[in-house]
Structure 1
Amino acid sequence: MRELKILVINNYGQFCHLIHRTVRDLDMDTKIVSNTTPVEEILEQEPDGIILSGGPSMERIGLCQEYVESIDRPILGICLGHQLIARTFGGQTGSGDLGGYAEIDVEVLEEDDILKGLGPRTSVWASHADEVIALPEGFLHLARSDVCEIEAMRHPDRPIYGVQWHPEVAHTAQGEELFMNFFEVCENY
């Protein structure tokens, strides 16, 4: 696979720099970008893909909804990024029953592009203080767990994916495989 340019959008989550390091360690050209960067400046960097990092709250997502609506590149939302994708397209988010980080057993419902090779079950590290509680209309439901019905989803037509868990942390089994699947989507887009 050729070296791709992947922008990591900083939503002020504690794992943003770890996402960046993971992407770099997988031999991709990567850069952390503020979530207040205008769309035009993002496009000027000619990214092959965009990762929306996690973060503390929807109040600090900057221009991320605009990125999701208007940037025609593959997008992967992690944790808060997953939730803001859902809200951008009319889904619902809410408080989960399990706050704090914990190991979660995820059932892969559909080994779509992003979850290829990860099923039928995988162990992940996630916080469920907030989560997607209703899919946006038309979105594909990719994974669930005992604590959260919508662990992963995909836009019906565009290469936009969301996962509730953190593939960048060592506690997540097959996290690197998820990133490699996303890079493959970016390479073929």
Structure 2
Amino acid sequence: MKKIVIIDFGGQYTHLIARRIRNLGVYSEIYHPEEFAVNDEIIGIIFSGGPQSVNANDAYRINIDIKTITIPILGICYGHQILASMLGGKIESGENKEYGFTNILCDEDSLLFSGLESKQSVWMSHGDHVSELPKSCRITASSDTIKIASYESHDQKFFGVQFHPEVTHTTNGLKMLDKFISVCTQDRNWNPQNFKDTLIQQIKDEAKGRKLVLLLSGGVDSLVALELCIQAVGNENVHSIHIDTGFMRQNESLEIMEHFDKLGFRNIKIIDAEELYLKELNGVVEPEAKRLIIGKLFVDIANKELAELEEHEELMLVQGTIYPDTIESGSTDKAAKIKTHHNRVSEIEKLIEEGRIIEPIKELYKDEVRKLGDELGLPQKLVYRHPFP
């Protein structure tokens, strides 16, 4: 699938950039810089912001041959600086720091600002700045504080903006991102609803005739994953396990069974594990420690149930992992761990490496999962149910 990739240099808005690109009709994915390699599916690259200084010895770097690459690149904040540095520009730290709303004067003939007024209100958040551009680029916007608030290469292949177009505080930020996308492609055909048939086929291919076991929380993610599996391999070939941890809404497990019975789902088993969870978590107050215990217990219980089922036939485990789960858990040495999700504890990672887990919606955001749920014909009451806790 053709896509624009966002290189995550540790910025707080990286997921927001990816969402904006998808909402503008192009599929996007996030990569950590040390993981990234150019391939034929990539039609555009965005360097995200980040907290580091480009001039620091331990700053993020990315292995791209900037002299030969033909894919358009947009740099945002830190990405604006590292792209300029890679092209031969200079970065300085000093007094020229900006945070908050800033007015910039734009060159209306530049690609990103074409059709916009020359004065734009944008959101800045930076300490370093580009002090000198290479000869291959020209300045396209300035502020009262910094001369180079934006630039583009003369061949309009490379673009840098010191501000954040992805946030709503930048008045015409979406229009600027849209202009960059137009350099990458004329096709705007990403839609999660249209992804349904592809996902169903992927499940069939990964299952390889084996029956599936889904860990069912009762939320929209696992519900959509379950419906996809049923449409892929048939109701009779899908088992569901719901583990009642004791941390659900009152009577929630009972309500889950009633809802799924009405939908015609079969082979659903509820495991009452409240006592076990309360015992293991007694006295634990640190949130990350709690998450690790919850995740490990979840896997231990699931493994026990799987072992019993596998006495009769070979099975594949299915999880309702969504895209932010995979990023927030921190997947590389430098990646910041926001929190460990129960579907990304070490035991689950081991099963993934062994090829024993299917995660059909791992490339989707929550709002995209809901749109897919609508396309699958699931009740809106369940699809748009508020997450808990």
Q: Which TM-score tier does this pair reach, normalised by the shorter chain?
A: 0.7 to 0.9
**CA separation of 1:86 and 1:35: change in aligned 2, threshold 3 A:** same
Task: Judging by fraction of residues, say which structure has more helix.
Answer: 2
CA contact (8 A) 2:66 2:87 kept: no
Matched, 1:6 2:9: no
CA–CA separation in structure 1 for the residues paired with 2:84 and 2:152: 9
Give the structure 1 partner of residue 34 of structure 2: 36
Are residues 1:184 and 2:182 paired? yes
Per-residue deviation, residues 130-189 of structure 1 (Å, max 9, x unmatched):
11011112311101010110011112235110000000011001000001100111126x
SS of equivalent to 1:170 = coil
Structure 2, unpaired ranges of 5+:
187-389
Query: Are the aligned partners of 1:50 and 1:73 in contact in 2 as well (CA < 8 Å)?
Result: yes
Counterpart for residue 125 of structure 2: 127
The match for 1:160 among 137, 158, 161 is 158
Q: Which has the higher contact order (CA 8 A, sep 6+)?
A: 1
C-alpha deviation, 1:84, in angstroms:
0.8
How much has 1:85 moved relative to structure 2? 1.3
SS in 2 for 1:32: strand
In structure 2, the residue matched to 1:49 is: 44
Identity fraction in percent? 36
Aligned partners of 1:68 and 1:119: how far apart in 2? 32
Q: 1:179 to 1:67 in 2, by over 3 A?
A: farther
TM-score (norm 2): 0.44
Return the TM-score normalized by structure 1.
0.88
SS at match of 1:22: helix
Return the structure number with greater strand share: 1
Hey, what's the Cα distance between the residues in 1 that align with 2:92 and 2:172? 27
Work out whether residues 108 and 116 of structure 2, in 8 Å CA contact, stay in contact via their aligned partners in 1. Answer: no
| Rg larger for | 2
Alpha-carbon distance in structure 2 between the residues aligned to 1:116 and 1:109 = 8
Secondary structure of 1:56 counterpart: coil
Pair 119,136 (structure 1): closer, same or farther in 2 beyond 3 Å: farther
Tell me the amino acid that sits aligned with residue 119 of structure 2.
R
Q: CA RMSD in A?
A: 2.0
